[in-house]
Chains A and B, each alone.
Chain A
Amino acid sequence: MNTVPQIIFPVAIPLIAAFLLPIAGRCHAGFGRIFGRAAVLVTFLASALLAWQVAGAGPASSAMGGFKAPLGIVFYADNLAMAFVLLLNIGVWLFWPSGDEDRSGPYTLLLTLLGGGAGLVLSGDLFNIFVFYEIVAVASYGLAASGGSAAGFGASLRYLLLSALGSSLALMGIALVYAAAGTLNLADLALLAPDVLRGPPGAAAFLLLLIGFGVKAELFPVNSWVPEIYASAPVRVTSLLAGIVSKLALIVILRFLVLVFPMPSAYGLLLTLGILGVLAGELAAYRARDLNSTFAWSSIAQLGVIAIAFSIPGPAGIAAGIALALHHAVVKPAFFFIADKWRGDVKLLSGGARTSPLVAALFVLLSLSIIGIPPLPGFWAKYLLLDAAFSSSPAYWLAAAVVLAGAVVEGAYLFRAAGFFYGGPQKGRGAALFMPGELVPAFVLGAVLLVAMFAIAPLGAYITSMAVQAADVPAIAAQILLGGN
């Protein structure tokens, strides 16, 4: 068993830096930004080191302050958690505000988001997860409003009310779990669950947790904030929230499902919400008139697909979900960057391919991948999903059919937009719109997608091993309980 105290670094470094940053910003105007970037870099290096250790020596855990689980607070890192911590780090680095403004506010919030997000996936304790979830939530309210527009404040406020109500429901679920099991340590719960959390109390607790954490995971039906926030927040924040933070919440839901509530009714709930999310998202995206809300709605649909994948019992479903989540984390931010160039009606895209052929080509590439056209990575992710779904019960066959039908609708609206890009007369929004510097992250992500296409085999093997590790409940429980020795 593997005890690694450094597990705290990905959480602690950014949080400490977040508190120091305003002070640093006071000292010198430009210093805050450099300090923030440096903190992200250090966090990334620490996380990468930890990920390396975890990949080599197996899952690690550590009890804070020497208090052993189940009384103490435990962090647990396996390959899955580390992959998403690294993803979050890279995302924060890539989507760091590019402007020359010297406000330290957004930087502080980004660092808070980084620390909170890492804590969210590394925590081995239900209540800790709740606390980190709230940290992430508060940071994202602030970030969503950081564009400075009035609509941004309004959207952020409405998002806050919704999310806080969700958090309250989640807390209620935690209370139920505690009432039934008398502990909140995930490993403890995993061992106790078969006795005390089966049947109605467990299902109710899972439902409340699902709805609560589902707000951030863009689950149906608590995702109505999505189009509004994504339309009014700065594009980098949108990319971060849609691309990465939503996945962290889903990973947490996955942990609950695998460790604490592995029962048919829980899987059924997640599956139902996932299917409804796909339907709602794809259909609404088809009717959206501007690119931004198109991608917001389609993001809901894709998270629904990931939810469907996670609702398939066994490592195959988890692997499919991870692959879909990683793919979406690469594609969706790039989409939002393109949408940011062409705010408003899709008809404004008209003739865009002539002024910015590279952007148009990138758009088509991303579209093809997200629809799932071989040999792009999106196809293999979808392949894993169908593979897992078809080897499960017939309810999942229905889900697979919905996902496939959704892909057709997706193709319809994405290529309607591509049609405006390539066809039609130019509408006067010419070369001035295309500033390559602002689209660098999008092109980086496009390049990642292309590289991943040639590395499907190793990626697939890695994701599968990750999923097998994440599905191995006894090993996780043992590691968490023994951590801190």
Chain B
Amino acid sequence: MSTGAVLYAGAIGLFLIGCYAMVAERHLIRNILGLVLVESGVNLLLVAVGFRENAAAPILKAGQSAGMMVDPLPQALVLTAIVIGFGVLALALALVVRVHQAYGTLDTREVARLMRVEREASGPGAAGPRAGAKS
């Protein structure tokens, strides 16, 4: 099995595991972990796209031709994507904290139910500042 195939298999595997966690798990933290796995899988896929068997790192030195190197662009992209993923993850966790503060649970169905209850309760007459608004 070539390195490329391993990379692709790993990427797709991570992606699928992450998807499963996002769809099937009922715990918000697990969902977020699923998201992390999905992102890792996709990042790995990007790396795999630029991967070349037996090539050097993409640092141009004297006497070396560019053809012998791994494609550097996907790596740059992955770096960016990792940073974005990190930021989104941080935001997600911050939101999880707020949700847990408000509802006392992280079970997705329970949260959805409580949200529905809250929306219905705040329906009529809630045109002004919403209940529980913090400044």
Contact assessment for A160 and B91 in the assembled complex, using a CB-CB cutoff below 8 Å: yes
Report chain A residues within 8 Å CB of B28: 157
* Interface presence of B49 (CB below 8 A): yes
Provided the pairs A161-B31, A172-B45 are in contact, do residues A149 and B92 lie with their beta carbons within 8 angstroms? no
Indicate which residue in B49, B92, B134 contacts A157 across the interface (CB closer than 8 Å). Answer: B92
CA gap between A189 and B88 in the complex, in Å: 29
Report chain B residues within 8 Å CB of A142: 91
Report chain B residues within 8 Å CB of A155: 115
CA gap between A123 and B103 in the complex, in Å: 41
Q: Report the stretch among A36-44, A77-85, A343-351, A472-480 that lies at the interface.
A: A343-351
Indicate which residue in A127, A134, A150, A232 contacts B88 across the interface (CB closer than 8 Å). Answer: A134
CA gap between A476 and B134 in the complex, in Å: 48
* Interface presence of B69 (CB below 8 A): no
Contact assessment for B133 and A148 in the assembled complex, using a CB-CB cutoff below 8 Å: yes
Q: How far, in Å, is A143 (CB) from chain B's closest CB?
A: 12
* Interface presence of B123 (CB below 8 A): yes
Indicate which residue in B19, B131, B135 contacts A149 across the interface (CB closer than 8 Å). Answer: B131
**Chain A CB within 10 Å, residue with most, of B96, B119, B135:** B119
- Contact residues, B85-135 vs A (CB, 8 A): 85, 87-88, 91-92, 95-96, 98-99, 102-103, 111-112, 114-115, 118-119, 122-127, 130-135
CA gap between A147 and B119 in the complex, in Å: 13
Q: How far, in Å, is A287 (CB) from chain B's closest CB?
A: 16
Contact assessment for B38 and A165 in the assembled complex, using a CB-CB cutoff below 8 Å: yes
Report chain A residues within 8 Å CB of B68: none
Question: Number of B residues whose C-beta is below 8 Å from A?
Answer: 51
Contact assessment for B133 and A131 in the assembled complex, using a CB-CB cutoff below 8 Å: no
- Contact residues, A171-198 vs B (CB, 8 A): 171-172, 174-175, 178-179, 184
User: In this complex, what residue of A is CB-closest to B131?
Assistant: A149
* Interface presence of B74 (CB below 8 A): yes
A85-125 interface mask toward B, CB cutoff 8 Å, 1 = contact, 0 = none?
00000000000000001010000000000000000000000
* Interface presence of B70 (CB below 8 A): no
Contact assessment for A344 and B124 in the assembled complex, using a CB-CB cutoff below 8 Å: yes
Contact assessment for B98 and A165 in the assembled complex, using a CB-CB cutoff below 8 Å: no
Provided the pairs A101-B135, A154-B102 are in contact, do residues A138 and B91 lie with their beta carbons within 8 angstroms? yes
* Interface presence of A391 (CB below 8 A): no
Contact assessment for B127 and A168 in the assembled complex, using a CB-CB cutoff below 8 Å: no
CA gap between A174 and B35 in the complex, in Å: 18
Contact assessment for B98 and A345 in the assembled complex, using a CB-CB cutoff below 8 Å: no
Contact assessment for A151 and B119 in the assembled complex, using a CB-CB cutoff below 8 Å: yes
Q: How far, in Å, is B4 (CB) from chain A's closest CB?
A: 11
Which residues does A use to contact B, with CB under 8 Å?
Answer: 101, 103, 127, 131, 134, 137-138, 141-142, 145, 147-158, 160-161, 164-165, 167-169, 171-172, 174-175, 178-179, 184, 228, 231-232, 290, 340-345, 348, 429, 433
